[in-house]
Amino acid sequence: MRSRDGNLNFSLSICTVISLLFSSQTLKADEYLISYRYVVKDATLYNETLQIAKAMQKCVGEPQTELILENDGANDLKKIIAENSDEFIDAIHKLGLHVEHNERTENLQNSSTTILTLQTTCFKVDFNDNSVRIAPLK
């Protein structure tokens, strides 16, 4: 498109390029549904479950504080989280876990069960060459 003085109008093309850059970055990130459950019985780890599934529908929400994990080029999110489990567990603790605790005494025997649960949460995941960016959506 030419302006009145015969020069090309670059403002429209610059805005188009910038919007394409931002949209390509957001399109690059995949969405995953992640849930986590940690069960402790009588002060001993009984069960730990991490469920990861690729979202079949677009998740609604804004990305929150992101977590950056090291990656060796793999695209297997469960493997990457297993290799960086301490950082990931710390991050989901900050998201807020549901805590359920039961304590019982029978015949002078104490028994306790504690269950920590992260409800199924949608995460935006962006795989790079040597890192993975994970951000929960709220």
Dump pLDDT digits (tens) for 23-76. Answer: 334 446 899 999 999 999 999 999 999 999 999 999 999 999 999 999 887 788
Instruction: Give the start-end residues of each E strand in the chain.
Output: 30-41, 44-54, 67-70, 98-106, 109-127, 131-136
* Within a domain: 84: yes
Strand 44-54 versus strand 30-41 pairing type = antiparallel
- Rounded to the nearest angstrom, the gap between the alpha carbon of residue 40 and the centroid of all alpha carbons in its chain is 24
Confirm whether 76 is domain-assigned: yes
The answer to whether residue 13 sits within a structural domain is no
CA 63 from centroid of its chain's CA atoms: 9
Report if residue 5 sits inside a domain: no
pTM above 0.85, yes or no: no
Strand-pair category, 109-127 with 131-136: antiparallel
pLDDT tens digits, 63-86: 999 999 998 877 889 999 999 989
The CA distance from 70 to 128, in Å, is 9
Domain count, the chain: 1
- Domain residue limits at 66: 30-136
